[in-house]
């Protein structure tokens, strides 16, 4: 982990995974913004095990832009792990996390920094005020996700705020100190309760390339969000078991009364339905419990979520030493 440096006021962490088509466009828009801030800065591009030409492009861009720092992970570890790796190595007094696809405008960084200074807050969230460029399915699922998270994890969760945010050094150190391995930063940062503000922006279309967040990863993120930040699924399993027990008791009472009155129920359909319903509830409860047990097992193992293979800053320091 790199210590904070007073020589770097702003760090920009950019997770990269197979973004060869968009990287030059990203740098062309990001560099003028940072040069106009009149602040010392570094751009920390975290290569999350890319298999395309992204590593080569990053090295070429680094020769053209000394402030660009390349951090390469040994294997693809996931979007949240890549951001966490960047936060652990960032040196700035303020740290911005932004994706490379240009759906979040780099120009907003200047406004974020101004808000952080003027209002003296630790976190500035980038909030998507307009998502018309997303598909109807994407807008619907994203809206449902944020409503669910706010209902289960608390009102501190910022609606329509993804991973585009600015954090103070104190916030970054607090996040780095957390023992969670499968952290979902869009939920972790708000739950810290540090003073915060919001900056709204319009979400743009992806500048180039394909989305790196397919439905499978969106579902995995939702599961991590639920099991990592709320006890509601466990309580749901408890209530399902209680309701199932009450329903079984009701069926038993009905059967005893029917037998006493001489009304024998013919057929087996009702029995099959009851058994299938109880079995489904039991499997659901076991699945929920398994998710929580799995998270505890992973934490007990203590395995890192990522491994750093290369840091251009360390290589540069070794050459100059």
Q: Which residues contact 68 (CB under 8 A, 6 or more apart)?
A: 27, 42, 43, 45, 58, 61, 62
pLDDT in tens, 112-171: 999 999 999 999 999 888 777 667 767 777 667 667 667 666 667 777 778 899 999 999
Q: What is the pLDDT of residue 130?
A: 73
Alpha-carbon dihedral sign for residues 304, 308, 313, 316: positive
pLDDT in tens, 188-238: 888 888 999 999 988 887 767 676 666 666 666 666 666 565 666 666 666
Check if the beta carbon of residue 165 is closer than 8 Å to that of residue 124: yes
Q: What is the pLDDT of residue 113?
A: 95
pLDDT at 23 over 90: yes
pLDDT at 300 over 80: no
Q: What is the pLDDT of residue 214?
A: 61
Report the first-to-last Cα separation within the chain, whole angstroms: 19
Mean pLDDT, the chain, as a whole number? 80
Greater model confidence, 147 or 58 = 58
The predicted model scores a pTM of 0.72
């Amino acid at each position: 982990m790199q210590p904070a440096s007073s020589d770097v006021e702003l760090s920009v962490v950019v997770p990269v995974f197979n973004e060869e088509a968009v990287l030059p466009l990203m740098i062309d828009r990001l560099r003028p913004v940072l040069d106009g801030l009149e602040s010392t800065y570094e751009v920390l591009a975290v290569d999350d095990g890319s298999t395309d030409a992204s590593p080569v492009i990053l090295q070429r861009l680094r020769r053209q832009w000394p402030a660009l720092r390349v951090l390469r992970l040994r294997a693809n570890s996931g979007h949240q792990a890549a951001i966490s790796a960047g936060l652990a190595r960032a040196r700035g007094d303020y740290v911005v996390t932004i994706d490379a696809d240009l759906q979040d405008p780099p120009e907003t960084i200047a406004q974020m920094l101004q808000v952080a200074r003027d209002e003296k807050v630790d976190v500035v969230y980038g909030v998507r005020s307009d998502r018309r460029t997303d598909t109807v399915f994407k807008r619907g699922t994203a809206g449902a996700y944020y409503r669910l998270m706010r209902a289960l994890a608390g009102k501190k969760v910022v609606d329509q705020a993804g991973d585009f945010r600015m954090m103070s050094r104190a916030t970054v150190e607090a996040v780095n100190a957390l023992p969670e391995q499968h952290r979902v930063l869009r939920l972790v940062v708000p739950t810290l309760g540090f003073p915060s503000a919001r900056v709204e922006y319009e979400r743009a279309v992806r500048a180039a390339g394909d989305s790196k967040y397919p439905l499978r990863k969106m579902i995995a993120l939702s599961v991590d969000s639920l099991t990592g930040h709320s006890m509601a699924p466990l309580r749901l399993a408890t209530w399902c078991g209680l309701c199932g027990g009450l329903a079984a008791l009701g069926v038993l009472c009905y059967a005893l009364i029917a037998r006493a009155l001489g009304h024998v129920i013919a057929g087996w359909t009702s029995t099959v339905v009851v058994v299938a319903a109880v079995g489904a509830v039991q499997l659901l409860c076991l699945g929920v419990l398994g998710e929580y047990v799995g998270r505890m097992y992973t934490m007990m193992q203590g395995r890192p979520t990522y491994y750093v293979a290369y840091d251009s800053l360390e290589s540069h320091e070794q050459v100059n030493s």
